């Protein structure tokens, strides 16, 4: 599979706001993928999901899902952990009917606990959930995302270690989040290459051939991520990132989360193709 570029949700220029119209617009624009945004909750019903799968199949557009934001597998309250697991499960269940290959989510907060403590907890929960999905024939990959704030569990090593240790789990590498979390580092060809080397170290060449990435401009403070920006209004050296992805032979999906969605997705695609 080559490297495909697309939007986080329905392109702004789509005629309707629905996912089917979004997929068709992605195809018209010459992009290759789209992420279904379940970020406020999984409200999609099965018949709608089946229509989305049909549209994606006919257009040849690859789909992924972003699970709801309200997920914290390290909550101090057990009912919130169970609700978080249900949100990931529901995203995977409906996403699988849509034909989405990956379910992206922000895994947890540290709550002043050590990284090792939180890792063990998240790992046990994801191992159980991944096993359940496999048992039920729900054929999707769970993708914990590298997070944008130091208060959030999910730095690069934590995310890769989870992925290396659990069957059915692979990373979502959010390069804007890595940049924001490091307060402006992770923003050169050498640093992007080091990230990709780490992916290969933990997951082998196969990890580079089955990537899921988020890229956008980003505003950040000493506390990390603040909000997404249009690429050319940000300091992200996306051209150097595209060069690194090409040099490492990265394959998979690049989802653009910039506010101007398809404009920056097309900019990334064009920049990559010109390398």
Mean pLDDT for the chain overall: 97
**pLDDT tens by residue, 225-253:** 999 999 999 999 999 999 999 999 999 99
Query: Model-level pTM greater than 0.95?
Result: yes
What is the residue whose two structure tokens read 């923003």? 187
CA distance 102 to 65: 6
Mutual angle of helices 78-98 and 115-135, in 10-degree steps: 40
Binning pLDDT at 50, 70 and 90, where does residue 196 land? Answer: very high
Mean pLDDT of 4-27: 96
- Residue 138's pLDDT band, with cuts at 50, 70 and 90, is very high
Tokens (6 digits) for 117: 């403590």
User: Looking at residues 147-165, what average pLDDT do you find?
Assistant: 98
**pLDDT confidence of 163, banded at 50, 70, 90?**
very high
Is the pLDDT assigned to residue 1 strictly greater than 80? no
User: CA dist 117 to 74, 110, 122, 124, 180, Å?
Assistant: 10, 9, 9, 11, 24
Look up the domain containing 225 and give its range.
3-274
% of the chain exceeding 90 in pLDDT? 99
Tell me: pLDDT of 117 over 90.
yes
Q: Which of 254, 270, 246 is nearest to 5 (CA)?
A: 254
Query: Over the stretch 67-107, which tens digit does the pLDDT of each residue have?
Result: 999 999 999 999 999 999 999 999 999 999 999 999 999 99
Residues 104/172, Cβ–Cβ less than 8 Å: yes
Domain count within the chain: 1
Bridge partners, 173 (sequence order): 213
Output the domain CATH number for residue 50: 3.20.20.150
CB 102 within 8 A of CB 253: yes
């Amino acid at each position: 599979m080559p490297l495909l570029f697309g939007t986080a949700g329905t392109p702004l220029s789509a005629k309707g706001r629905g996912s089917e119209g979004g997929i068709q617009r992605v195809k018209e624009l010459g992009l290759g993928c789209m992420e279904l945004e379940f970020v406020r909750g999984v409200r999609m019903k099965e018949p709608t999901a089946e229509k989305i799968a049909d549209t994606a199949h006919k257009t040849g557009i690859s789909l992924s899902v972003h699970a709801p934001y309200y997920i914290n597998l390290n909550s101090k309250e057990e009912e919130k952990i169970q609700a978080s697991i249900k949100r990931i499960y529901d995203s995977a269940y409906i996403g699988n009917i849509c034909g989405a290959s990956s379910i992206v989510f922000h895994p947890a907060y540290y709550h002043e606990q050590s990284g090792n403590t939180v890792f063990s907890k998240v790992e046990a929960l994801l191992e159980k959930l991944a096993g359940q999905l496999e048992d039920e024939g729900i054929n999707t990959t769970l993708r914990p995302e590298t997070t944008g704030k130091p208060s959030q569990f999910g730095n690069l090593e934590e995310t890769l270690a989870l992925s290396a240790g659990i069957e059915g789990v692979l990373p979502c590498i959010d390069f804007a989040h890595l940049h924001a979390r490091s307060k402006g580092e992770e923003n050169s060809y050498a640093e992007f290459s080091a990230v990709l080397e780490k992916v290969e170290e933990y997951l082998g060449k196969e990890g580079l051939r089955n990537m899921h990435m988020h890229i956008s401009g980003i505003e950040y403070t000493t506390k990390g991520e603040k909000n997404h920006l249009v690429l050319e209004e940000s300091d992200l050296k996306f051209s150097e990132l595209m060069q690194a992805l090409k040099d490492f032979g990265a394959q998979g999906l690049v989802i653009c989360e910039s506010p101007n969605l398809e404009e920056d997705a097309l900019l990334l695609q064009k920049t990559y193709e010109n390398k």
